[in-house]
Chains A and B, each alone.
Chain A
Amino acid sequence: MSGLLDITNLRIDLGQARTPVSPVGPLDLTLDVGECLGIVGESGSGKSLTLKAILDVLPEGLVRGAGTLRVMEQGKWVEPAAKDLRGRKIGLISQEPGAALDPLMRVGDLIGEIVRLHSGCSRAESKTRAIDLLRQVGVPDPEKRATFWPHELSGGLKQRIVISMALACKSEILLCDEPTTALDVTIQAQIVDLLRDLQKQHGLGIIFVTHDLALIRQIADRICIMYAGLIVETGPSAEIFKAPQHPYTRALLAALPDIEASSGNLQPIEGTPPNPTDFSVGCRFAARCALATEACRAARPLLEKTERGTMVACFHAGVAP
């Protein structure tokens, strides 16, 4: 497989103090052409921030404090500015399709605006292209739907509009931030199918953030388990589901009542994750971990290769609890 995206040492800082609080990172991410990378973690673990940091669209007060981001461009690794990636190379799909569209513009115009921006075509041409895009993402009767206002569409259709905007200029990478969480189950399946079709058709690389372990198991080639802003375990999806090494991953999987169930949302684990302001020097999971020792509290374990081809950040990796 050939590389598509390579992020090293990404860190997100809160404010610009000399010793900033960093809710996320430092962490590394890679993505290959046509690959689907799943990111899983509890609420607040920093999944959304990570995706937003890739395009540098973090909420105010947060900044990308460190990190290099390279993408493959015609066989060469380059390090473009975030604004040259937005909508051109990388598209974003958000958790809440209802809030992602400007309510005061017709959806056809919203898509047309993005098309015009990236292709420089005429207004009339962008209109037909917008309708083509709507057809591509499976919106029925696209000519008519293009004249609708966002509030006149269902959640599923809105998410399709958002996807079409992310695709408007042939993005090669889609960042999906829980794209199905706000939708009901049947629509969820449709959107996931659509994303997989698009992935096959265009050879897209997808980073897929979700709470749904059963879903991630189906679609992800590799997964990253995030805890309190850090990746604690990563590797091929099959390996991680077969033999999780990190106590947190084990807890997540154990909390899953039936791994074969159609939908398995994360079950709560005893305790709560720490706030970014309370991050300790040691392992951030130590407070909730049955295996924690003095060593865990004194220093943070880094990601290390295991013999199974995965990477795990734990001094007690693989030890049965």
Chain B
Amino acid sequence: MSRAGYIAKRLLQTVPLMAGILLMVLLLLHAIPGDPARAIGGINASEETVQKIREDLGLNKSLPVQYITYIGNALQGDLGQSTRSGRSVTSIIADRLAPTIWLLLTGMVLSIIVSSVVSAISARNKDTWLDYSFVALTIGGISIPTFWAGLMLILLIALPTGLFPISGFGQGFSGHVNSIVLPATTFAIAISPVMIRALRTKFIALYRQDFVMMSRAAGLGEGAILFRHLTRHAALILITMISVQVGPMIFVSVVIEKTFALPGLGQALVNAVSQRDFPVIQGITLVTALFVTFVHLTGDILTSFLNPKMSLK
């Protein structure tokens, strides 16, 4: 199969996946034990209120009808209203999306840069004090809790220097950049150790490969070997790692949003859960699932470009 065909097929595969995700999201509502409308309304709500909630959420209709209605509305960008504030879920998400996207993207980019550089240096200097100190730092990074790392950055960097805000998302582009530095760093502290370990092992194995020895024998310098050859192999591993780690990444970003009081989706989700605001929970779950799907899709497509051996089926 050609690459274009593979990509088209991969895109088409996401359609049933999305349908499945939408079904799961809808069923979230029904996972509530007992009567969901009563649970949402609360113990003290009158029977009329509960009945109204039931109608607003379409709970009085059959499940297939609810499902089709939900899909139809979702396709038009209507994810219902918050049962607390009455605002449309779409607009709540739109408000909260930017800090989360910023955090995830800057955090991932930073983690990729840090882990590539550290692991390459570590592997090149295998079994030296430099390598050992990187390994020690990596183990340290894996063992400290994310919120603690964030608090330490606030205590040791933000407060003494006053360079970075300790909460919020700032004003304008430079304000955003400024307020994302420490959260992104926390993200990298949480995520890159695992990537460094995998990449270091990969680099060490790569340096033992025959083709590296043969490239040297043909006169290629270490720089050319690393940047023209090994980076491609490392990129494949990175892509896989990111696909696998996207779940932990989202979890970490929720914790970081809380630590740095970033007004992002994670915070909104935590609030919605504590208020049993189901439409908002559903909306954010949907957006998260979309993000995960997007990351996997992008990873597969990038891999198909990098790895000629991948069977394009």
Contact = CB atoms under 8 A, between A and B. Distances in A.
A117 B207 contact: no
B232 interface: yes
A104 B229 contact: yes
Interface in B199-218: 207-211, 213-218
Interface stretch (B99-107, B188-196, B288-296, B302-310): B302-310
Given A59-B208, A60-B207, A94-B210, A104 B307 contact: yes
Interface stretch (A27-35, A83-91, A283-291, A299-307): A83-91
Contact of A102 (B126, B208, B211, B219): B211
A120 to B, nearest CB: 12
A278 to B, nearest CB: 25
A114 B220 contact: yes
Interface string B220-239: 10001000110011001000
Given A102-B229, A103-B309, A117-B224, A169 B219 contact: yes
Interface in A67-122: 83, 86-88, 91-92, 94, 96, 99-105, 113-114, 117-118
Contacts of A217: none
B218 A105 contact: no
A168 interface: yes
B220 A117 contact: yes
A96 B213 CA distance: 12
A151 B233 CA distance: 15
Contacts of A52: 213, 217
Contacts of B309: 103, 149, 151
Contact of A166 (B207, B218, B224, B236): B218
Contact of B218 (A87, A149, A151): A87
A35 to B, nearest CB: 21
Nearest to A87: B219
Contacts of A117: 218-220, 224
B308 A151 contact: yes
A59 B307 CA distance: 27
Interface string A44-61: 000000001001010110
A273 B97 CA distance: 69
A63 to B, nearest CB: 15
Contacts of B233: 104
B226 to A, nearest CB: 12
B218 A165 contact: yes
A162 interface: yes
Contact of B219 (A59, A60, A83, A105): A83
Nearest to A54: B217
Interface of B is mostly: helix
Contact of B217 (A91, A101, A118): A91
Interface residues of A, number: 32
A114 B208 contact: no
Interface in A216-269: none
Contact of A86 (B208, B211, B216, B224): B216
A118 B214 CA distance: 15
A47 to B, nearest CB: 15
Nearest to B218: A87
A312 B182 CA distance: 72
B122 to A, nearest CB: 14
B231 to A, nearest CB: 10
Given A99-B209, A99-B211, A92 B232 contact: no
A51 B217 CA distance: 10
Contacts of A55: 216-217
A231 B228 CA distance: 39
B308 A118 contact: no
Interface in A165-201: 165-166, 168-169
Nearest to A85: B219
B219 A57 contact: no
A159 to B, nearest CB: 12
Given A105-B229, A151-B308, A100 B220 contact: no
A118 B219 contact: yes
A266 to B, nearest CB: 23
A86 B224 CA distance: 15
Interface string B57-86: 000000000000000000000000000000
A57 B207 CA distance: 12
Query: 6 closest Cβ contacts across the A-B interface?
Result: A87-B219, A99-B210, A92-B217, A149-B308, A86-B219, A87-B218
Interface of B: 126, 207-211, 213-220, 224, 228-229, 232-233, 236, 306-309
30 contacts: A52-B213, A59-B208, A59-B213, A60-B126, A83-B219, A86-B217, A86-B218, A91-B217, A91-B218, A94-B213, A101-B211, A102-B211, A102-B215, A103-B211, A103-B308, A103-B309, A104-B229, A104-B232, A104-B233, A104-B236, A104-B306, A105-B229, A105-B232, A113-B220, A113-B224, A149-B309, A151-B309, A152-B308, A166-B218, A168-B218
Given A91-B217, A99-B211, A113-B228, 11 more contacts: A55-B216, A88-B219, A92-B214, A92-B217, A100-B211, A103-B211, A103-B309, A104-B306, A114-B220, A151-B309, A165-B214
Interface of A: 52, 55, 57, 59-60, 83, 86-88, 91-92, 94, 96, 99-105, 113-114, 117-118, 149, 151-152, 162, 165-166, 168-169
